[in-house]
Structures are given as structure tokens and as C-alpha cells.
Amino acid sequence: MSDNANRSGQPPELMRVLIADDVMETRRSTRLMMTLVPEARVVAVAENGRQALEMVRQHRPHVVLMDLNMPEMDGLHAVKLIRQHRPHIVCIILSAERSQETVDEAMKLGVHDYLIKPFTSDQLLAVMQRVREQVFGSQWAELQNRKRKQEREGELKQLAEEFMRTRRTDAKAMAVFEELANTPNCDIRYLRALAIIYVFRQQWKRLRLLAGYLEKKAQELVVDE
């Protein structure tokens, strides 16, 4: 099974992230910045490259945020070994090392991005946003789109309940009920409310189309019973 999917074949809710840096303050600040990324969760923090390698095996992160100059094993060596065993892991270098030679070497190893310290939370957020697509591909986009649709449907239902309670028949109410009518398995109460709005606003053509749809829904309910 790929590291990029769970047992259901769908992308996980959160990207698992490992931070590797030998400076305690940097580890803390990076972890704090990561709390601003709602789709990610820090699962492990390492103090050097060797420890990072061990934690990758244990925690199976999707993303590794790696410093370069660390004791026991430097970041580039750790990245090389990590990608040999888990080529799908996204590695991002966080380092004060600015030489183009080092940057080029990191990119040759398959590093996804290279952030120069000190970096801002906005810079880290931008990198993580780019990472999403590489980690989850189209599955991530599909998951996020499904979430947005569910959230929107919840908002529409709240508005619809309020509009039915206050018996609103204005253009905004009509637009809300029409959007709900296009959602899968729309509650028939909302369709009936929309029909009443069409009658009140003399939208006869729309009413005829809705009537046909309501008749079909009523037949389906009879069959189900």
C-alpha cells in the first residue's frame, strides 16, 4: 500500500509531517508555524539526520522538513537515504546555507523545495500548499472539493430552515432553495418550499420543471415504501 493513501484507497485527512533540526528553538518555531497549516499534523521531531531516518521508518510521514547542518548525520545524507527507501516522501530543506552548489545538490537528490533560514510562516505555508498536490495528487483535490460541497450544503440547509420558518419568498430565498434542489438526495421539504416560492413569484416555467421532478420523487418514495 502506498504511503500516500489509507486502507480505503483515499488520501488521509492530514499530511503527516516530520521536522528534523538540531536547534531546539528552530524545532519549536517550525512546529508552531505548522499549526497554521490545517491539513497537516507534525507526527515526529528529530534532532539529527540519523534520528530522522529512524523516525521516518516508525512514523511514515508524507513530508520531511530537514535542516542541513546537523550532528551524527547531515541533512543531505539523511535525505538521500530516506528517498532510497521511501521515494514518495516529500523532502523540504530548511537551512541557512545559501550556496547555489548546496541548493543544486539538494535538488539532484529530489528535494521538493529549499527554504532559507530565517523564513516566515507565510513562506512555509506557501511551500506546504504546493506540497499538497504532490503528496495526494488528484485524490487530495477531490477530497477537498467534497468537503467544500458538504460545508456549502450545510450552510444552505441552515438558511433554508430559517427561510421556511420566516416564510421568505424573495430572490435570495429562491436562489438558496434552487441550489439545494441541485444537491443529491435533496429533502423534499425544500423542493416543496421552492414550489411555493415559484407560485408566489409567478415563475411558471420553473414551476413546471420542478413539478415534474417532484412527481418523479413522489413515485420513488412510493416504490421505496
How many C-beta atoms lie closer than 10 Å to residue 1's C-beta?
Answer: 7
Cell of 214: 417532484
Across residues 164-183, what is the average pLDDT?
94
- The whole-angstrom separation of Cα 157 and Cα 176 is 9
Across residues 66-85, what is the average pLDDT?
92
Q: What percent of the chain is predicted at pLDDT more than 70? A: 86
Contact call for residues 112 and 82 (beta carbons, < 8 A): no
- The whole-angstrom separation of Cα 44 and Cα 40 is 12
The residues spanned by each domain of the chain are 15-143, 167-224
CATH superfamily to which 15-143 belongs: Response regulator (3.40.50.2300)
- The whole-angstrom separation of Cα 34 and Cα 65 is 11
Query: pLDDT tens, 12-54?
Result: 568 899 999 999 999 999 999 999 988 889 999 999 999 999 9
- Looking at the predicted structure, is the pLDDT value of residue 220 above 90? no
- Looking at the predicted structure, is the pLDDT value of residue 132 above 70? yes
pTM of the model: 0.57
Please, what is the Cα angle at 46 between 42 and 51, to 5 degrees? 130
